[in-house]
Structure 1
Amino acid sequence: MTEGRLKLLAKGAFVFILVLAAVLAPPPLPAPGETPPQAASAEAPAGGGKEERIYPLGKDEIKDRIEEIQKEMDLYIKQRESIQSDDGLESEMLRKVTVALGSAQNVYSRYRAAIENLEQAKKEAAEAAEHDGKSLVKESPPYNLSFYEEIRNQYEGVDQRLKSVSSSIQLAESSLENLPKIISMLETKVEDIRAEILTPDGKTADKEYRLREAEAELEAADVSVRLQKTSLEANRLRRSFLESQKKLFEKDIEAVKNNLHYDEADRNAKIEALSELIAKTRESVASIRADREKLRNSLVKAQGELNAARSDQQRQTAEAGVSELEAWLKHNQAALEQAEQELTVLEESARIWEIRYELVRDGLPGKEIWDYRSAAGDRIKDLENIFRMQHRNIAAIQAEILTAQKALEDAKGNNAATARINRRIEALEQTIQITNSSITRLLELFNKYNRFQAELGNKIDAVRIAEQVTRFGKDRFLAFWNTPLWSGDDFEVTIAKLTLAIILFGAAFFLSGRLTAFLGRTLLKRLGMDSSAVTATQQILFYIFMGAFILSALDMVGIPLTAFAFLGGALAIGIGFGAQNFFNNLISGFILMFSKPIRAGDTIEVDGLFASVEEIGSRSTRAKTFDNIDVLIPNSYFLNNKIVNWSLMDQKIRLKIEVGVAYGSDVRKVEKLLLKAAEDHSRVLKKPDPFAVFRDFGPNALEFTLFAWIDMANASTLKVASDLRFRLISLFEDNNISIAMPRINLNFNSAEPIGVVMRNAPPEGAAAEEDE
């Protein structure tokens, strides 16, 4: 036996002693050939049967087992680092044992995650059981198209999740079919190695490491069975309630589809959002094109440097630079194509959205629906071709990355070339990311076209029936539209005329508001009127314009005022009784606007509530409290109640800070400190001067009052008062002046000492009997 081999055996014996000592010491660490803690707790039966193996079941036990395996792995890693042999056989065996233990540790981690997954699945199943059979739609009909899209997306998410769970179930079942065979093979392997070790001269370090490796593999396989069973149980639970959810969503989708209505606001909001994205994308396209021109110029310059290169190193660096710029140019081209495709996706999405809402409104004839469905089918085929082309592009870029990586190996030693090749690889990788992002966006458009095509197909038969109904209903509608409501000697009021008059009334209201606002911004301001007068004039002009527009509208539709003569008496009574508060507030509003006891921006106090006037309207005044709460106050309230306007003439207000100091304090120093606190504050006005008053000899303190003025335009009374109090406390502490606190003196006047008796409390039962 060679000397090297003797040294190896000696080191192996030394390592074995170390491992044995580690096993005996807490926490237990398995040495080669020993059974891992908690991995097998029973010896093999006397009859030679398979041993019973017990593994941790709880999450905490699994966590402990993972830590034990990690400690054992650390021990083997240290042993491997300490070995220095010529053949490296023991080092390789230690590596295999470490790998096998790492696999077992990984299976335990996955098993613990599977247990948590099962708990979550049970929780989800319980929550789903509470809503079993109930509709998942909480809103009431009718529904707009955005809501329908949201329900469809949720349904497709449940459907995709159900497909994923079903695939996981198939994989778990397949694994459970194969694992018993693997476990049987590993059990045989463990028994064979143990039998070899039990033979005379059979116990060697190599066999012990092989045994530990096989035991770790067997443990991993056994735990994998539990892992797959746990995952299978969780996925079967999920499949059950996902199937129920899918059926509910199918019913809900049908119900929502049958109650869709045309929502102009929803339609316009979606179109507006898409239009904003289209504008931004166009700006991005212009920016990318500008960058492309810069890259082309740089590429021409780099090609000139390549032609001018003399040495091999210069040529290699120049070639790397040209390849880098070509890669970035390709990246720019991919970004430009992505932006242009994004523009196409957004424009087509907006068009699809408009057509779908026309379908909801039944505003498309049958021929157009046929044409749209045919165009949608053609576009779907185009998108499929684009997908195939994009995948080919990705494959080509990946091949180019491999070429660049080979060039990187060839350029070792040339730092400039290496840096440029790395940037080239970075550009190519980013190009792949851009292409994948482009495919994702096109896939979204592909799904929209599929959904759009299905909706068009469903609508074709319904449109045929609707067109027949429309022919019949048109004549009936015109007869109803021209039905006379009332008539006189020289007029006739029909439903059509009355509807048109109402529409013109709404237009008159809108135009009156716009016209008075325009006059307020231009003509009235040029006359030098303040904001209150401008508001009052606008209100008067608004009502004048309203009356003129209403009279004009009635004349345009041919309805004379005599048609409403029979309503005059009822209208007068209604105004006299029901609208007196309205006119009271209206007139009060004009009085406030012209007399100006309050103005916008004034700080007022109403029933102890402080607020800032925001707007004086024709019927009410809107004020905002310092808590940012809007308060609407009827205009008549200001004329009939006491209102305090803190800023009618100016914004100056006097603060009063009261403080009491302990008897025995230097009162003149107190006065100086009070004035110093006021003078030091930047928001306290210098004119009028702040002053301090020794107010009274209080029962507990010498009472002082500090008076100071602030400008409410740039200061808050609460904040300044708080700052002054903080400052006074600091100044008093620095000058040993105490702020007095209330106190009560108790004087006992007794001729004899007061007796005090102490005794233990009686037991609860005794106390109860005594009470009885």
Structure 2
Amino acid sequence: MSKVKKIISKLPVGVVVCLVIFLLAATQASICSGQLSLPVLPDASPAEPSVSPTADSPAGLKQQRQEISQRLRVAQRQLDAVKESQEAEADSRGGELTENLTREVGNLKQLEVLLAQQQAAEERREAAEKQKVELEQRLQDLRARGPEDPTPYSFLLLDQLRDELVAETARQGAVQATVDTTAEAVRLAKAALAEKERQRRKAKETFDTNKDEERNPQLSAALAHAELETRLAGEILKTREIELAVEKRAQQSHELQLAYLAEKIEWVGRQTHFRVEDLEHQLVELERQERDLKQSLQAAEKTAQFLDQQWFDARGRLDQAFERPADLLEEVEARRLARLAQQQRIAALGQQLARLEDRREGWNRRFRISQHSVSREDRRLWVEETIQQLEQLDRERRLQTIRVDEVRQDLATLEAKLDSDSQRLDGTTRWLRAQQTTLSQLSMLHERQIASIDASRRLHDKLLAELRDSEPATTWSDRGKQAYEAIVQAWNHELASIDDRPITVRKIVMGVVLLFVGYLLSRVISRLFGNRFLPRVGVNPSAASALQTVLFYSLLILFAVFALKIVNVPLTAFTLLGGAVALGVGFGSQNVVNNFISGLILLAERPIRVGDLIQVDGLFATVETIGARSTRVKTGANLEIIVPNSKFLENNVTNWTLSDTMVRCEVMAGVAYGSPTKQVEELMIRAAKLQEMVLVDPSPFVWFREFGDNSLQFQLNFWVQMTSLTRRMTIESLVRFKIDELFREAGIVIAFPQRDIHLDAVRPLEVRVLAPEAPAPQQGGSQVGKAA
């Protein structure tokens, strides 16, 4: 070979180029004539390749691979020879030739790989076909003779078959997705083949219509390359079609497997009973697993102490180091990861032990269900507990899946770090490898956790299905019991808890009812006490009303405490509400509380009482009732007004009847100037004394108030018992009538408003009578324009 290379290197470039073109033409002729026995290109339209059985068989494909390998070696030698000649003398045509040979070598390599894939795919198709035939035969034997397992069938066998059916059913979507993906690959391969065929036809047309002999070698090489790429695309299509056929066979086998498992489960289920031996066998297996887990947990706890010490030692050496070398940093990280992985392993073993206990209880419940020894209440409770356990298992599985993804990301980052630096020290690489190993073990730990969770979930799924399937038919009596149980459950439903005591719906309803009854009783008792008892013992009405109100609120508080005691609600519950109550008082309830406290003060100090005549903001009214928040008063016009209690403490209030009902009244009278003042005084006193409702003691008297503009002002003062504003005003009106009568008899004039005008002129006034049309004079003193 070396001698050939030396000879070729000594030849001129032109001779070498001609030699290569000749070899290419010979290769093209051999390919076109089928000397290499390459498979014929398939038509793009059919779903499966149309090839001869010999070419399709693994042996035929193996022979084609050998021929392609031989052709690849020849092309590689040609490429090497051209490259060596280019090193001796640079030439542009040599570069183009190198590029063509390189592409040819690449296509031949791809063709060799595709043939290998076809050979493997053909072997898989034969295996899939054999599996399909075996499954069809097993299904026929099952239908004809039944299962081949010995009778009596074990319940554990039935359970295993159900698990297999669930697993195969879960794979159904993945199998269909694989078929769809492979069919899409076939479609794309057909499109690529059509494009390559178009390029080949174009290259062939260019070669056939070429009249320039110098371009013939170049066009011939391009045509050969296009035909090789077309063959390559055809082989890709053939490979994809074989893969599609394999996946379809696998899908058919999967459907047969599902049918076989379903029919076998139905056959075995009719003749299988959950025996005590089956339960004991499963419980013994769970006990063995529990012993193994406990031993593993003890060993893991001992190892954790050793790993903790190693991590602390490495941390100490790192803290003492001055420059913090990279290998020591990675060692600390490796020790930390190992410690973390061991902690998670201990936690995982503990969780698996807990799940084993749940699985043991699940098997016992399944056995009781098969023996029909479960009450309706236990069945309902088991359904709720099983649903809760399934939800908990789902949460744990999601958590483990997240942890697996996190560990895989950390592992990918670590592997990238290992590959990025080839100049790393051996010590650093060692600890990075240790971290990689720990992360791999941690990933496997989480995957084992997922497997344990899946096993528990399958068991609880079966338990839930058996609970629902074995539920007896519901009668009207059962419906009534269910309704009663639902009502009792809702009646005793816990809403909250205080001091470890439940607050249920029943307690709240009973508390509200008792509080309402207490309110009614407080109202009745306080009214009887205030309206009947107190008046009989001589208590005045105002004091009786105050005592009645105080008794009402006292009884209401007592009944509220009694209601809380009856329903077993601790009084400490209200200490928790103290902050909220204080906040409400400080903001939204301050006005209400202010009026309430004012009402208590009014009842205690009694500045106003029921029946008192008061004056607030110029309003005269009689107090009707004094409530906890407001007071009701009635005016002389029979208008009832609600006044907030705080109004009586914040503003000035005149109580006309607080300590005494005797009130001094005043009546004003004005007489004309020149009237006898003493006689006026006597007459006014006499008018007051003639009225029966005017008190004699103190006796009436008169004040000479002032010399007014129009009259002499006198004020009559007298006292009356003022029980109401109407009484007072009535007495004052009668006194005025009498004064007017006495003054008329005595000839005393009650003055009225008047003005006296006095004119003082230097010369006499000039008076003229003018015609209506004449204008008024513009000058002169005071003139009268019109005289009567």
Matches within 5 A, 1:304-319: 304-311=316-323, 315-319=325-329
Map of 1:323 onto structure 2: 333
Matches within 5 A, 1:170-249: 170-196=180-206, 199=210, 200=212, 201-204=215-218, 207=222, 210-211=225-226, 213-224=228-239, 226-228=241-243, 230-231=245-246, 234-235=249-250, 237-238=252-253, 241-242=256-257, 244-249=259-264
Question: Is this contact kept in 2: 1:73–1:98, CA < 8 A?
Answer: yes
Map of 2:466 onto structure 1: 455
Q: Say which SS state the counterpart of residue 412 (structure 1) adopts.
A: coil
Q: Which amino acid aligns with 2:279?
A: R
Q: Say which SS state the counterpart of residue 203 (structure 1) adopts.
A: helix
Alpha-carbon distance between aligned partners in 2 of 1:43 and 1:235, rounded to the nearest angstrom: 24
Map of 1:512 onto structure 2: none
Q: Say which SS state the counterpart of residue 37 (structure 1) adopts.
A: coil
Match of 1:123 among 116, 128, 133: 133
Deviation track 1:20-55 (CA, whole Å, cap 9, x = no partner) reads 88999xxx8x6xx886734355999xxxxxxx9856
Q: Say which SS state the counterpart of residue 362 (structure 1) adopts.
A: coil
Map of 1:472 onto structure 2: none
Question: Is this contact kept in 1: 2:186–2:241, CA < 8 A?
Answer: no
Q: Which amino acid aligns with 1:60?
A: A
Matches within 5 A, 1:330-729: 330-408=340-418, 409-410=420-421, 412-461=423-472
Alpha-carbon distance between aligned partners in 1 of 2:42 and 2:161, rounded to the nearest angstrom: 59
Question: Is this contact kept in 1: 2:196–2:226, CA < 8 A?
Answer: no
Q: Which amino acid aligns with 1:444?
A: A
1:207, CA displacement in angstroms? 3.0
Alpha-carbon distance between aligned partners in 1 of 2:22 and 2:104, rounded to the nearest angstrom: 16
1:325, CA displacement in angstroms? 1.1
Q: How well do the aligned residues superpose, as a CA RMSD in angstroms? A: 4.1
Question: Is this contact kept in 1: 2:283–2:360, CA < 8 A?
Answer: yes
Q: Which amino acid aligns with 1:231?
A: V
Deviation track 1:709-732 (CA, whole Å, cap 9, x = no partner) reads xxxxxxxxxxxxxxxxxxxxxxxx
1:374, CA displacement in angstroms? 1.0
Does the alignment pair 1:270 with 2:282? yes
Alpha-carbon distance between aligned partners in 2 of 1:182 and 1:276, rounded to the nearest angstrom: 60
1:196, CA displacement in angstroms? 4.7
Map of 1:252 onto structure 2: 267
Alpha-carbon distance between aligned partners in 1 of 2:326 and 2:457, rounded to the nearest angstrom: 45
1:243, CA displacement in angstroms? 5.5
Q: Say which SS state the counterpart of residue 325 (structure 2) adopts.
A: helix
Q: Considering only CA atoms, is the larger Rg found in Structure 1 or Structure 2?
A: 2
Q: Which amino acid aligns with 2:193?
A: I
Map of 1:509 onto structure 2: none
Question: Is this contact kept in 2: 1:59–1:115, CA < 8 A?
Answer: no
1:322, CA displacement in angstroms? 0.8
1:227, CA displacement in angstroms? 0.9
Percent identical among aligned pairs is: 11
Distance 1:122 1:416, change over 3 A: closer
Distance 1:448 1:13, change over 3 A: farther
Distance 1:274 1:462, change over 3 A: farther
Deviation track 1:459-512 (CA, whole Å, cap 9, x = no partner) reads 2336999999xxxxxxxxxxxxxxxxxxxxxxxxxxxxxxxxxxxxxxxxxxxx
Distance 1:411 1:173, change over 3 A: closer
Alpha-carbon distance between aligned partners in 2 of 1:421 and 1:379, rounded to the nearest angstrom: 40
Q: Which runs of 5+ in 2 are unaligned?
A: 1-8, 44-48, 88-94, 480-788
Q: Say which SS state the counterpart of residue 281 (structure 1) adopts.
A: helix
Map of 2:63 onto structure 1: 64
Q: Which amino acid aligns with 1:364?
A: V
1:222, CA displacement in angstroms? 4.0
Question: Is this contact kept in 2: 1:394–1:435, CA < 8 A?
Answer: yes
Deviation track 1:122-180 (CA, whole Å, cap 9, x = no partner) reads 52255146336447445688655323213323433554565555444444544454443
Alpha-carbon distance between aligned partners in 1 of 2:459 and 2:425, rounded to the nearest angstrom: 51
Alpha-carbon distance between aligned partners in 1 of 2:393 and 2:477, rounded to the nearest angstrom: 33
Distance 1:463 1:308, change over 3 A: farther
Question: Is this contact kept in 2: 1:111–1:223, CA < 8 A?
Answer: no
Alpha-carbon distance between aligned partners in 2 of 1:166 and 1:131, rounded to the nearest angstrom: 28
Map of 2:689 onto structure 1: none
Alpha-carbon distance between aligned partners in 2 of 1:70 and 1:290, rounded to the nearest angstrom: 60
Distance 1:337 1:266, change over 3 A: same
Map of 2:307 onto structure 1: 295
Q: Which amino acid aligns with 1:295?
A: L
Question: Is this contact kept in 2: 1:196–1:203, CA < 8 A?
Answer: no
Map of 1:93 onto structure 2: 103
Deviates more, 1:233-242 or 1:388-397: 233-242
1:423, CA displacement in angstroms? 1.5
Alpha-carbon distance between aligned partners in 1 of 2:235 and 2:38, rounded to the nearest angstrom: 10
Question: Is this contact kept in 2: 1:189–1:214, CA < 8 A?
Answer: no
Distance 1:161 1:67, change over 3 A: farther
Deviation track 1:174-207 (CA, whole Å, cap 9, x = no partner) reads 4454443332222223333444555441434973
Alpha-carbon distance between aligned partners in 2 of 1:370 and 1:169, rounded to the nearest angstrom: 44
Map of 2:36 onto structure 1: 37
1:301, CA displacement in angstroms? 1.1
Distance 1:295 1:194, change over 3 A: farther
Distance 1:118 1:400, change over 3 A: closer
Q: Say which SS state the counterpart of residue 430 (structure 2) adopts.
A: helix
Q: Which amino acid aligns with 1:358?
A: R
Map of 1:621 onto structure 2: none
Map of 1:657 onto structure 2: none
Alpha-carbon distance between aligned partners in 1 of 2:374 and 2:149, rounded to the nearest angstrom: 28
Alpha-carbon distance between aligned partners in 2 of 1:465 and 1:278, rounded to the nearest angstrom: 46
Question: Is this contact kept in 1: 2:42–2:234, CA < 8 A?
Answer: no
Q: Which amino acid aligns with 2:141?
A: H
Map of 1:279 onto structure 2: 291
1:448, CA displacement in angstroms? 1.5
Q: Which amino acid aligns with 1:72?
A: R
Question: How many residue pairs end up in the alignment?
Answer: 447
Distance 1:402 1:54, change over 3 A: closer
Question: Is this contact kept in 1: 2:61–2:115, CA < 8 A?
Answer: no
Map of 1:755 onto structure 2: none
